[in-house]
Chains A and B, each alone.
Chain A
């Protein structure tokens, strides 16, 4: 059945499937940014060195999942939509370089922070984690925002990109809309981080930390709402860019609103996502529940799917050019060849297997909560 579909799918169907797969990977990444969010809480909720260690060790079991998902997101975009990869990374140079920079400094920080003779000292590695959690996620949000607000590029007939802003992508961070996406992601990641830690740590010896994490969940959830609200209020009446009858890119009034109406799945993902995010945060803040991360996590995934879906489906230019409309990229013009997408679709059949063992390992490792004894060195710790 699946084999038959892959063999007989049209190029357009494969392009849409791959936009969906990239969206799923991107949305899962947004959920996994609870690691980055948790990193930024280190300075606010941990009052003792032991509490810091608990947080670091709890997040440290997961940081690689987030990192790997980001790498896969990049790899999948490269393979499935190479014109986007070439245009965005080669054009919006500085925004991507800075994002990467924050992930480089994150990668060593867990392992090196508490190691003797680490040269820089624990505080610097903790600062690296903070920078990754704030600057990295904010800029990723701003980059996602450009899917709606557009970027400053022109493509030649050979698809060579010329970026017309000297800020090379950093200009994205000066748009209120893009900033609101970034700030929503930062505060949402912080709320998710607090909920993850609540779910993962044994508080029998640290009751105060539990209370502070519940308070952090609530506060950060509240802080995230205006930015999410601004995004929704702005995006619904926003003009977008679609594909005209002759294949040219045209301006479409209320494009993203139309996408929500014409592709009901996106509408439901947005609404259910919002409900789940609110439910998770309120459950955590107002009850003794520790499972809020699953509700808000799933909600974040659905919100992510809605955002990426609105940007790319329903004949929308997902990477609009503000300076040359016809240079704008759609999933049909930016994609790989049909043969490559077919090959990649066969490989994508591995994704459920990967998800299965990730879930199993997650469950196996997290059955026992992170305890003070464990971070003291029994069983290995950061």
Chain B
């Protein structure tokens, strides 16, 4: 299919997608989460008629608007990057992957875009009820868009409801319901949106804490903190629950990712979870170096996370790369052989078909069918390529988990001191609170690093490696656009931060 590929180009294309996605994800979680909080504030205003709640709603809406614009700007490039940099991917899975993107446009983006204008500019143009309805629609629309893009992403991680069509040489959808209710997509959506709500709560905590430290907008800040803390605490619980679900699904469908983010090279029964450790970044799969400089494990916890049953086996990277006959695990080397057979037989099938030799074509197709589940492995050159970067996956996962454990404690502290009405005296907490937004951003980015780096080398798990998913471009071309977008997005990010800081320093209108 693709004999020679330019690895430099592939790596630049990956870097470009990662950069675009990371910039996009600076803005999107705030959009996803804060719309619900704004809708909540807006509802209180409509119910009470209080100008203070109106000002509060407008203030957070203004910050949301600044953030939303750049989220849109970074979003459009992602949709089209599938075509520009990953055109073979677009062809090979467009039959399945394109549908959620189109549905996202029809069912979600228009909802968001249409009611966005009413939410911002409808104060004196439409009725209070319709205005409030519009604010809720923006929240629904933005989160609906997350549904569909995460259905698409979930499918890449666990490609269900599809079959390879040898005549068109692409994967085609067989069952839409399976694609939508893919367990990986469901856990991805619930984990992502709940973490976005948590993140929005941290954003509000940070800005409100800043006001309290400065002794400005005290009443508004206290109100905001109570709503955000309750919201954030509930979201934290849900993030933990859905995170557990995501890990469980990883163990079912992407065991290599689970092994990588735990730095587990040798599989074991009752495997322990690393509570704290420093991973050896120089270790390569297959060498005899230690995986960690040091680590503290909680016995049995990884097994519980992965299988929810004590005494069960969690495969390690070595088991998955080199195989483990005792546990019935096929290694990447064996899968590569089968994958190469699939590729050869697909070629043969197409040639025989073109030549009109139906019998030979049927025979080739039969062998292809026996091996097609390993098609993607046929493009790997070494079994070790089946493992993702371990140190990066491990560090990202553990940063995310540690921060995810700290956040609910912070919300609890804010609620406790708010209840005691001594929040203003807790300078240490308010000081900590001001940086919570940045820690939330680190956790958000780390989460996506786990999800996307952890599934390498696959564009589509087990079926299509990134090296085959690429466009036929030179490395120089992709390099050029990488730097174009890097410069542009950085300028826009700096502008956004500058505008945001100014608006925060101006603060909400006082009644």
Contacts and interface: CB of A to CB of B under 8 A. Distances in A.
Do A and B bind? yes
- Give the interface size bracket for A toward B: 35 or more
A162 B474 CA distance: 11
Contacts of B107: 347, 350
Given A90-B87, A90-B90, A107 B98 contact: no
Contacts of A358: 110, 114
Interface in B58-72: 58, 65-66, 68-70, 72
Interface in A68-114: 68, 70-72, 74-76, 78-80, 82-83, 85-91, 93, 96-97, 100-101, 103-105, 107-108, 110-112
Contacts of B106: 72, 347-348, 350-351, 354
B102 interface: yes
A82 B130 contact: no
Taking each of A96, A157, A343, which has the highest tally of chain B beta carbons within 10 Å of its own beta carbon?
Answer: A343
B94 A365 contact: no
Contact of A78 (B69, B102, B122, B471): B102
B101 A83 contact: no
A123 interface: no
B79 A74 contact: yes
A278 to B, nearest CB: 31
A150 B105 CA distance: 29
Contacts of A90: 83-88, 90, 471-473
B454 to A, nearest CB: 26
Interface stretch (A282-290, A294-302, A307-315, A332-340): A332-340
A159 interface: yes
A344 B102 contact: yes
Contacts of A117: 498-499, 501-502
A160 B472 CA distance: 8
A347 B102 contact: yes
A74 B98 CA distance: 10
Nearest to B161: A339
A116 interface: yes
A9 B58 CA distance: 50
Contacts of B90: 78, 82, 85-86, 89-90
A115 interface: yes
Contacts of A380: 58, 120-121, 123
Interface in B148-193: 165, 168-170, 172-174, 176
A204 interface: no
Interface string A158-172: 111111000010000
Interface stretch (A59-67, A185-193, A218-226): A59-67
Nearest to A347: B103
A86 B72 contact: no
A124 B278 CA distance: 47
A104 B87 contact: no
Nearest to A65: B113
Contacts, number: 258
Given A72-B110, A93-B473, A86 B121 contact: no
Contact of B88 (A62, A96, A160, A378): A160
A309 B258 CA distance: 50
Contact of B118 (A159, A361, A381): A361
- Give the interface size bracket for B toward A: 35 or more
Contacts of A351: 106
B499 A112 contact: yes
A379 interface: yes
A115 B502 CA distance: 9
Contact of B114 (A85, A91, A361): A361
A4 interface: no
Contacts of A80: 98, 102
B325 interface: no
A130 to B, nearest CB: 17
Contacts of B76: 67, 70-71, 100, 103-104, 107
B102 A89 contact: no
Contacts of A367: 125
Given A61-B121, A78-B101, A119 B494 contact: yes
A171 B393 CA distance: 43
B105 A82 contact: no
Contact of A337 (B97, B109, B173, B501): B173
A157 B350 contact: yes
A159 B95 CA distance: 14
Interface string A352-363: 001001100100
B118 A85 contact: no
Contacts of B2: 158, 160
B355 interface: no
A291 B409 CA distance: 59
Given A347-B102, A379-B124, A108 B495 contact: yes
Contacts of A161: 87, 471-472
Given A68-B113, A87-B87, A75 B72 contact: no
B109 A111 contact: no
Nearest to A374: B124
Nearest to B88: A160
B495 A120 contact: yes
B481 interface: yes
Interface in B442-492: 471-473, 477, 481, 484, 488, 491-492
Contacts of A88: 83
Given A337-B165, A343-B173, A367-B125, A105 B488 contact: yes
Interface string A251-292: 000000000000000000000000000000000000000000
A96 B76 CA distance: 12
A48 interface: no
B492 to A, nearest CB: 6
Contact of B80 (A74, A354, A361): A74
A87 B68 CA distance: 31
Contacts of A234: none
Nearest to B70: A108
A246 interface: no
A85 B83 contact: yes
Interface string A183-210: 0000000000000000000000000000
Nearest to A157: B350
A97 B84 contact: yes
Given A61-B121, A65-B113, A357-B114, A107 B91 contact: no
A71 B472 contact: no
B53 interface: no
Interface of A: 61-62, 64-65, 67-68, 70-72, 74-76, 78-80, 82-83, 85-91, 93, 96-97, 100-101, 103-105, 107-108, 110-112, 115-120, 157-163, 168, 336-337, 339-340, 343-344, 347-348, 350-351, 354, 357-358, 361, 364-365, 367-368, 374, 378-381
Closest 7 CB pairs of A and B: A90-B87, A82-B94, A89-B83, A79-B98, A72-B105, A107-B73, A78-B98
26 contacts: A68-B110, A71-B75, A75-B102, A78-B82, A78-B101, A83-B91, A85-B91, A89-B90, A91-B472, A96-B83, A96-B84, A97-B481, A101-B488, A103-B73, A107-B76, A111-B69, A117-B502, A159-B170, A168-B477, A339-B176, A340-B95, A343-B99, A351-B106, A364-B122, A379-B121, A380-B121
Given A71-B109, A361-B117, 15 more contacts: A68-B112, A72-B106, A75-B105, A78-B79, A78-B94, A79-B101, A82-B94, A93-B84, A115-B66, A119-B499, A157-B169, A340-B99, A344-B102, A361-B134, A367-B125
Interface of B: 1-2, 58, 65-66, 68-70, 72-77, 79-80, 82-88, 90-91, 94-99, 101-107, 109-118, 120-126, 130, 134, 165, 168-170, 172-174, 176, 350, 471-473, 477, 481, 484, 488, 491-492, 494-496, 498-499, 501-503, 506
